[in-house]
Amino acid sequence: MNSYLNIDHIGITFPTDNGPLTVLEDVNLQVGEGEFISLIGHSGCGKSTVLNIVAGLLEASTGGVILEGKEVGEPGPDRAVIFQNHSLLPWLTVYDNVRLAVDQVFKKTKSKRERHEWTLHNLELVHMSHALERRPDEISGGMKQRVGIARALAMEPKVLLMDEPFGALDSLTRTHMQDSLMEIQADLNNTVIMITHDVDEAVLLSDRIVMMTNGPNATIGEILTVDLERPRDRLALAEDPRYNHYRAEVVKFLHERHQNPAKAQEVAKPAPKEPKSNVFKLPASQVTSAAANGRVLEKAHLELGFVPLTDCAPLVVAKEKGFFARHGLDVELSRESSWANVRDKVCTGMLDGAQMLAAMPLVSALEGHACEPMVTGMSLDLNGNAITVSKELYGRMLATGIPGLDSARGSAAALRTVIEHDQAEGRPPLTFAVVFPQSSHNYLLRYWMASAGIDPDKDVRITVVPPPQVGHYLRAGMISGCCVGEPWNSYAVSEGLGRTLITSYDIWNNHPEKVFAVTRNWAQRNPNTHQAILMALMEACEWLDQQEHRREACELLSAGRYVNAPVDVLEKSLTGTLQFSSDEKPRSAPDYNVFHRYAANFPWRSHALWFLSQMQRWGEIDSSVDLETIAKSVYRPEVYRAACDALGRPYPEVDFKVEGQHEEGWLLMSGDESMQMGADQFMDGRVFEPTNLERYLDSFKSTAEDPVAKASA
């Protein structure tokens, strides 16, 4: 490789009260011109220190940095640094913030007119020409970061140094910024070194990923070459096995070879016999769970994952309203960019547990799956998803003249007519997005389509897109529709990107949606802690289902560290209304998000079996797999019941129930008491009997294989 930038065996040692501390040791890297390098590693591994040495902001104790044959000894315009904080001058306009840098670098070499045109050119590169006269407090966080990038590019640096430049942005804006950066680098052939904690971001953007070992004495552990063609298409990469291989390699390195030392000790050690030293101390009046009952928590300091969706609310409320703390738990919530990240981090022990799609833990129990088997002792909610299509597709569906587009059957029939027209015209199939292969989104979208005789594997293309990015994909025309959770349907409608057709409730009333999951091994090592988590989450779910708390929940979720969406967008679904179209009045949807009522938190094994039946229906698992054994190994109602006993709450005494029998609310007998349940009908009137899976699956085969049945479905 042509060594355009040579980071030559650098090390740095700082004096401390306890003697010299070596932060970096023998970091050696050659970077080619135009190459995009990502630095990734745990906090404290020296990534920013490497960047600051290259920038000339720190002086290495050993080794040095050579750029185009010249040693770097101080800051200079040939190395522009972009930090997470945009650092714009608040009293200057967007134009003036960039012009200031242009004047400093080119005052002697460019005329005033040339400097003006160069400023405009760089703002055009980041799509900020429309906001030249605005000041930083008048634009969004993503726009500020665009201006920061324009300012750096305007200096014509030989190397662009980026220290987590998108870390503080919401997921949708982050997606836009990543795409902009790829476009700019393709146009300008910049040499880029970027620090990131996001594995997906590193694989998407990089030519090579440099993985750092933990400090002190941190160094380069491995370098992964990302051999993916440019320009890179997010949609295509989601299904590219090479992409998934690269991200798996990074996750494997971060966990197995160089995980955080404190975390490694926690993961490796068995539950101690007398774990008194790691119990989180609270005032005695606040401790109401395991410790108060004489049961000591095996682990009190926890990191739990979530994806920024409205129904991450139980975890956010348990944290912010003190339910975790009441049960002796010190919890950090980790916002993850995708469900794949959640799965990988729980599997490898980087997270103690997480909010998950209800079908995700089931896959971990299948033979040959790489992930450690998981269990769930609690459902977090019912419903919460919707099918939204682009305005163009909705217009075409409307033009079919088929009535009832606001019903599951009518909308599916209209979509089928559009698809048949496209097939007759030789057009490519429509693309629909779901958030994960094993999800209610995927299986309910398929259920809806198949009810009208649409073959989801042949007549359309179904791809995976992380929830916060579906709006971006709709805007770009990369998908024609999606099944996604809130607030991303409401966001698409409010931004004029699409039209919501139906909710997932319309396909299956009160279907299971998210669960709380941990690995089986973690649950066995930490039974008291596991129970305390479930108790805190149950109380949070009870709090959430009190209507007077929903507005406050929206305010909590709107924070940047959580969903990072406007309160009014979150309110559209969480307060029991939903905006299907920007030109229609909101519709009442009182059961759109159910967190506690209808025994919503019980981990029904019949729900697990339904998901497994759909995996079998669509050829994801073999017909020889013992579905009931898997359901029983993953869904653990006995754990839920133990937590209910500790709280004095009622619970169902059976593990299975027939699904689809009730079009209205009904009562479930539990001992001498009854529990109010919700409607559970499917859109096609089918009934799912857990004791007769074969007959249930056969009912779909006849529809799929018989052309007459398919035409009349």
The verdict on residue 265 lying in a domain is yes
Do 604 and 690 lie in one domain? The reply is yes
CA 25, chain centre distance (Å) = 35
The verdict on residue 419 lying in a domain is no
Tallying the residues shown for the chain, one arrives at 713
Please report the pLDDT score of residue 265 as a whole number: 37
Is the pLDDT at 97 greater than 60, yes or no? yes
> How many CA atoms within 13 Å lie on the side-chain side of 49?
28
Peptide bond into 373 cis (omega under 30): no
The verdict on residue 289 lying in a domain is yes
Do 283 and 196 lie in one domain? The reply is no
Do 533 and 657 lie in one domain? The reply is yes
Over range 101-127, report the average pLDDT. Answer: 90
Do 649 and 529 lie in one domain? The reply is yes
The verdict on residue 162 lying in a domain is no
The verdict on residue 623 lying in a domain is yes
pLDDT tens digits for range 41-96: 887 788 989 998 998 888 999 999 999 989 998 888 889 888 766 678 888 999 99
Do 368 and 226 lie in one domain? The reply is no
Do 274 and 363 lie in one domain? The reply is yes
The range of the structural domain enclosing residue 358 comes to 261-383+512-545+594-695
- The CATH number assigned to the domain holding 16 equals 3.40.50.300
* Amino acid in position 276: K
| DSSP symbol at 226 | -
Beta bridge partners of 208: 37, 225
Over range 656-670, report the average pLDDT. Answer: 94
The verdict on residue 525 lying in a domain is yes
Please report the pLDDT score of residue 706 as a whole number: 39
Please report the pLDDT score of residue 278 as a whole number: 31
Which among 231, 258, 285 is the end of a domain?
A: 258
Maximum average pLDDT range among 132-136, 270-274, 395-399: 395-399
Task: Check: CB of residue 443 under 8 Å from CB of residue 611.
Answer: yes
- Residue 108 CB contacts under 8 Å (≥ 6 apart), including other chains: none
- The CATH number assigned to the domain holding 357 equals 3.40.190.10
The verdict on residue 700 lying in a domain is no
Residue with tokens 């529990």: 675
Is the pLDDT at 292 greater than 50, yes or no? no
Domain count across the chain: 2
The verdict on residue 389 lying in a domain is no
pLDDT tens digits for range 424-473: 999 999 999 999 999 999 999 999 999 999 999 999 999 988 888 888 88
- Tell me which of 273-282, 299-308, 543-552 is least confident: 273-282
Maximum average pLDDT range among 166-170, 229-233, 448-452, 465-469: 448-452
Q: What are 425's two structure tokens?
A: 């015209």
Do 525 and 618 lie in one domain? The reply is yes
Do 247 and 286 lie in one domain? The reply is no
Q: How many CB atoms lie within 10 A of CB 369?
A: 13
Do 227 and 356 lie in one domain? The reply is no
Do 198 and 307 lie in one domain? The reply is no
Is the pLDDT at 256 greater than 80, yes or no? no
Which among 258, 275, 299 is the end of a domain?
A: 258
Task: Check: CB of residue 703 under 8 Å from CB of residue 531.
Answer: no
pLDDT band at 257 (very low <50, low <70, confident <90, very high): low
CA 374, chain centre distance (Å) = 19
Is the pLDDT at 418 greater than 90, yes or no? yes
Between these two residues, 349 and 263, which has the higher pLDDT value? 349
- Tell me which of 172-181, 215-224, 656-665 is least confident: 172-181
Over range 652-663, report the average pLDDT. Answer: 96
Which among 211, 230, 258 is the end of a domain?
A: 258
Helix, strand, coil content of the chain in percent (nearest 5): 40, 20, 40
Over range 588-615, report the average pLDDT. Answer: 96
Query: Can you tell me the distance from the alpha carbon of 144 to that of 88, in angstroms, rounded to the nearest whole number?
Result: 8
- Residue 18 CB contacts under 8 Å (≥ 6 apart), including other chains: none
Please report the pLDDT score of residue 270 as a whole number: 38
Please report the pLDDT score of residue 104 as a whole number: 87
Do 225 and 275 lie in one domain? The reply is no
- Residue 708 CB contacts under 8 Å (≥ 6 apart), including other chains: none
Q: How many CB atoms lie within 10 A of CB 577?
A: 16
Do 223 and 369 lie in one domain? The reply is no
